[in-house]
Every structure is written in C-alpha cells, then in structure tokens.
Structure 1
Amino acid sequence: MREFENPDHWDTAAQHYERTAHPFTARFAEAALARVPLTPKSRVLDVAAGTGALALAAARTDAQILATDFSPGMVARIAAANLPNVEAQVMDGQALTLPDASFDAVFSIFGVIMFPDWRKGLAEMARVTRPGGYGVIASWQSRGAATFLLLGDIRRKLFPDRPGITMPEAVGAMSDPADLASLLVAAGYRDPQVDRVTHDYDLEVALLDDPDSLFGMSPDWTELNAADKAAVIAEVRQMAGDRPILPIPSTALIGVARR
C-alpha cells in the first residue's frame, strides 16, 4: 500500500492539510461549484472530501451536503464546522454505502484521483447520481501542483539523473481533457465538458525556515539527504528573490458530466 492510500497517513496529516492545502484546493472547488446549479433542494455528495473544501463551500447554497472520506481525521475536521446542512461520514469512495440515484450532484475534488481502484470510484459516483444529475471531477495535470510541482521541477534541474515520485495512476490517466471526458462516459455519465483551470499556489518564503513542515508530505522531499535539501531550499530562495511570496501556477482539469 502506498502512503497516500492509507487512511492513517491522512489522519495524521489532516490538521496540516487543512492549514496548507485546503485554502488552495478551495479555489478549484469554487470553480467546480460554479459549473453546477445547486438549490436548497439539491442533495450533494462530496467523495473523498478531505477537510471539506467543496462541501463547506457548497453549504452556502443551502443544499443538503454529505461529505465522505476514508480518513476519520479528515471527517472530523469537516464535522467540526458544525454546519446544519453538512453531514460527514467515514466511507470508502470505491464502495459507497449509499442508494443508487440518490444525489443531484456528486463531486470529487482531487479525491478519486488518489484511489487504488479509481475506475471503481468513478463508477460509484455515477451509480449514486440521479438521472439528469451532475458528476464533477477535479484532477491535476501529470506533474501535479503546488509544492509537489515545485519540488518535481527543482529535482529535475538539480538531480536530473534521479527519478522523482510516481504520481497516482489516475492523475496520468486523467491529465488530458479528452481522456478525462472519455473516462466520465465510461463510468456512466454523458455530455462531458472538461476545462483547464489555473490558480497560483502562494508559497510563503518565510516558511522555508521550517521546510519539513512545508514539503514534508512529498516523497520528493523526504527521500533527500540534508545536503540535497539545503540545495533545494537555496534554489527556491533564488527563484523567489526579494519577494515574500513565490507564486506556483498550478493547473487542474475540471470535468462536469450529466447522468
């Protein structure tokens, strides 16, 4: 089992993820929400919800939201928001314990792309979407995003003979708009529309004083020795120059389809 497939990993990372990744992924969640009409009568499912970037944003529509994740730690962060129209449950997105055709819109924002059986995850999303409802997937392009993207680029520059991390299989499979559209159809959806959406990840240069907290979720960082880490930090500082914030443009694909 790879680390990102283990719920214990995400339980441990939940607080750090909420502080660092959530504000960034929330920008893509907002872009996904803007593509689907929701009303207070809508029933919405967020699959592999993480700390709830999509679920908490969707709650503003007064729709009824169910957020699911296999990590109890992540689910606890969502439940702590204590919103009356948001329910959070521990659940495996590859085998949703939910009735067929029970939701008006089903989202997975950078969630299903992490599943070992991501095709099953897509099929489960389609199964629980009502006829005429919406399925929405967000996936990174093949080199990832944010600090993962930055570290990969720096590693290729500083250590060109060393292999970097292997992205989850689904990231590669969904990194082209036509491929993502085809996969949505294969899962049981129709009329897919896929858009590229880019936002900057704003890396605070001051956080380089504690690089393990900044980069520690990436194997591209943890496998480096002390000298290599120092070289990486020096490269990031050089890239930033005098700026307090280093923007890292990161592109996602957002696919929307009907059931």
Structure 2
Amino acid sequence: MPVTENKHEIPGHWDDAAATYEATAHPFTSRFAEDALARVTLTPAMRVLDVAAGTGALALAAARSGAQVLATDFSAGMVARIAAAGLANVEARVMDGQALDLPDASFDAVFSVFGVILFPDWRKGLVEMARVTRPGGLGVLATWQSEGAATFLLLSQIRRRLFPKLDGKNKLPEGAVALGDPEWLAAALVDAGFRDPAIDAVTHDFELRVEALDRPETLFGMSQDWVALSAAQQAAVVEEVRRMAGDRAILPIPSTALIAVAERQAR
C-alpha cells in the first residue's frame, strides 16, 4: 500500500489499535455483522471471504455455519486476534484488500463490514471483491450512513456544535462518504461487477459507558477529529458528553448502517 500521511491507511496504526478495537468496536460491529449474515444463507459446503476483517466480527460469526472462512486484513495485529480464536474452519491471512492474492471466482460469498469504505482506492476494493466471487455468488457490504457511527458520530456532532469555526479538514474517508449514500452504493456495486443490489438501513445503539470518559483516549483516540483538538477542546468535549448523559451510566448513540447484498454478474 502506498505511503500516506493518513494513519488509518497505515497497517502499523491498526496493529497498535488492535486490542482497543477488539474491546470497544468489535462488540458493536458484531451486531451489524449478524445483520449482514441474516441476509445470506451459508452452508458447510461454501467458501466465504471476509475482506478487511478487523478482529473478525463477521468471520467468526460466519464460522458458525460450518462454511470455510478466510479472513483477510492488512494489519498483522488484527489478523493475529482472529487467529487466536483457534477455529478450525477459519483461516486468517495478512492481505491488502485492494490487491487480493487470491484466484478469480474462488468464493461463494464475499463480505466487507466497514472495511472497504476505509480503503484509499475503495473502487479497487469493490472490484477485487467481485473478482474473487464466483458468478452467481454474493457480495455483501456494510457501510456507515451519514457521519459515521458510535463515538465518531458523537464527536462529529459535538465538535460542530462547540467549535463551529474549525475548518473541518478531518473528513470521513472518501469511500465512507460515497458508499454511505444508497444510490451511490448501488451504482458502485454494479460498476464493480455485481448486479441487483438490495440495500437495507439498519440502526443499533452504541452504548457509551460514561465511566469511560475518565480515559477519553479509549473512546475517541482512533478519530482524527479528536487528535486535531487541543487539550482544552478535548476537555470541553468530555464535559459535553457528561452533560448529555446526565444521570445515566450509559449514553446511547443511535448509529445507522447500510447493508447491501448483490449477486456476482456472469463473466
């Protein structure tokens, strides 16, 4: 992958974040992974690929079907977390989703849950998903709608409210913006080689534990919007979250994803 100033495009960043991601993001993204799996019937005879698998929310859940699952991610730290689960029908390999080292038409179903949307070349990521899906097989993509989800969404809303004069240079990745629109998402899947995409919006609450505000880096540290704030601004964000929570121990953050399922076109 090319050298970049965006730390979210550097494998080492995700290696360092793997433990925190597994503890905080994995339980939440697992809910959307289950929604994606509910739209597809997997059997033990099938081969399944999870692209940009993170710590394996989709891959580990898909393994319950008995299918043979390959989970790929460009972060060795993430891959190690999946391998540590020790499931016999799950293989985890370090691989760039923009250039999958896999044969054409080799999988019955290919998933990416909040992965391809972060790629520098998300179009190439979708094309690679289609390339390795057999004709008639399924591509399944989960994307965030609007301004992201969970603490990223909350921080974006608070930052805009408290600091409206900030230049806003810390935007969501291009793929997250484009594929967060249902029409763009459908068109992108067709352009990549899929057909007849069915897209549903699904919402779950991210449950922010107010006690975690004592260590705000564990909540917001993966966001460029947070890193760009001064210490005083970060303190103001924390105080605003406490105000929003009031007496509650948990602040729910409704977060909406788009889940798309499309069939691989015949070659």
TM-score by length of 1: 0.99
Question: C-alpha separation between the residues in 2 aligned to 1:122 and 1:3?
Answer: 22
**Residue 159 (structure 1) shift:** 0.3
**Residue 172 (structure 1) shift:** 1.2
RMSD across aligned positions (CA):
0.7
SS at match of 2:140: strand
Counterpart position of 2:175: 170
**Residue 11 (structure 1) shift:** 0.4
**Residue 160 (structure 1) shift:** 0.5
Residues 110-142 of structure 1: CA distance to partner in whole angstroms, max 9, x if unpaired? 001111111011000001101111000111113
Residue range with higher mean Cα deviation, 2-11 or 210-219 = 210-219
Counterpart position of 2:216: 211
Counterpart position of 1:48: 52
Answer yes or no: is the 8 Å Cα contact 1:142–1:167 preserved in 2.
Answer: no
Mapping of residues 186-225 of structure 1, within 5 Å: 186-225=191-230
Question: C-alpha separation between the residues in 2 aligned to 1:129 and 1:152?
Answer: 36
- The equivalent position to 1:102 in structure 2, one of 92, 102, 106, is 106
Residues 67-86 of structure 1: CA distance to partner in whole angstroms, max 9, x if unpaired? 00000000000000000000
Show structure 1 runs of 4+ deviating over 3 A: none
Identity of aligned residues (%): 72
Question: C-alpha separation between the residues in 2 aligned to 1:46 and 1:141?
Answer: 21
Counterpart position of 2:30: 26
Letter in 1 for 2:216: P
Tell me the number of residue pairs that the alignment of Structure 1 and Structure 2 aligns.
259
SS at match of 2:105: coil
- The equivalent position to 1:72 in structure 2, one of 69, 76, 87, is 76
Question: C-alpha separation between the residues in 2 aligned to 1:139 and 1:12?
Answer: 24
- The equivalent position to 1:116 in structure 2, one of 97, 107, 120, is 120
Letter in 1 for 2:197: P
Structure 1: runs of 5 or more not aligned = none
Residue range with higher mean Cα deviation, 42-51 or 217-226 = 217-226
Question: C-alpha separation between the residues in 2 aligned to 1:84 and 1:106?
Answer: 19
Residues 148-201 of structure 1: CA distance to partner in whole angstroms, max 9, x if unpaired? 000000011000011332110011111111110111000000110011111000
- The equivalent position to 1:142 in structure 2, one of 139, 146, 150, is 146
Mapped pair 1:257 → 2:262: yes
Letter in 2 for 1:178: E
- The equivalent position to 2:244 in structure 1, one of 233, 239, 245, is 239
**Residue 5 (structure 1) shift:** 0.5
Structure 2: runs of 5 or more not aligned = none
Question: C-alpha separation between the residues in 1 aligned to 2:228 and 2:40?
Answer: 41
Question: C-alpha separation between the residues in 2 aligned to 1:13 and 1:73?
Answer: 8
Counterpart position of 2:235: 230
Mapping of residues 122-137 of structure 1, within 5 Å: 122-137=126-141
Residues 221-259 of structure 1: CA distance to partner in whole angstroms, max 9, x if unpaired? 122222211111111001001110000000111110001
